[in-house]
Structure 1
């Protein structure tokens, strides 16, 4: 698919994030099982999947035939960012067939001494046709990533950096401001827990939204129910 075809396929729609990393209930050491979540997402009408790790990129593309936003979560010493932090992960995702590569584009410390601007430039030089999704935490980072030439900006990291406010729900304000001011697609992502919040996120003017934990993380879903019940009983 061309870049335009990929973007047109998700316009006004929901991308489902199907991820499980080590330590989570749906992470199985021997084999990826996230293709089953992706199968369900496709049957529900999703036109794109976001996933973490080479094996899940491969398995989900084989199972669904849908385009995939790929990322790799890994923590290196000296790096504050853990979403596709180095060229090694970019290379692996390209080899796996990710249609779009997502990376942390917050302005935080990078262990190799480069800035995020320099890293984006390196990726674009090596892979000039690769679509990049910038995961940012605030307006300034979104504008910076846009000026660096990424194809998509996502609000993924809002509330997950020390300098942004942690919220219980989506950052509608950030979605709205970026969607209004950038001339590339903005994807609303982060803490969209209900269909109502999904509709509200799309109404901010973003190109599309990503929903993950509310659909594909059963532990997180179960904990929300348990917390609500405990609160109603005065136990929390």
Structure 2
């Protein structure tokens, strides 16, 4: 099991395939296994890199406050460890926001972005300004087992196989870790920096995902080289709900970029 110590964290990662590199970053409370349908297909043509964000899966979490700035620093450290100079970044939800912030803070490393169900702020409208702090506070009292059941039920309507994966990934995180992780994730903000993204950006939106649709449409307007595509029959677990369309969109996106660079 490959691990590397970066920024005082033991990060778990997997590398499969060869060629131009693409890093997949999972959503909050999930882990690298989220991307199996993408790795199985894309590793035939590309070097696929999946990893567990600090505090998730098999990666460790140091004591003390979790700083969301460390997420992108961890990712850059992992690229350095793997001697990857430039990369395509793909992420869902939290993983998309980490990818977004990496492109903003470390643009020379990023060839392109693929953002799936990705928020760029936690204060987009009055509802989020009210609800997110309440959600952050209530997470202190909700057992991970209960959160796992709620998540699994909500995000398994289009693919029943999601249920077991979600339950296993969510319950693997201790509640005291999750409270610190979620505080960091739910305070990430990138609204003032979207114009700084100068790489081609593919935005994939599940057609039944009301959680992030407004923000994804807004990103498509504000990120210069961006394209918004709706994924059919998909909720927030978009890449698992409809892996076939997601894979096709990613491959088309990468192929177009690589063709221009030749």
The TM-score by the shorter chain falls in which range?
Answer: 0.3 to 0.5
- Would you tell me which structure has more helix in proportion to its own residues? 2
Q: TM-score, normalised by structure 2?
A: 0.34
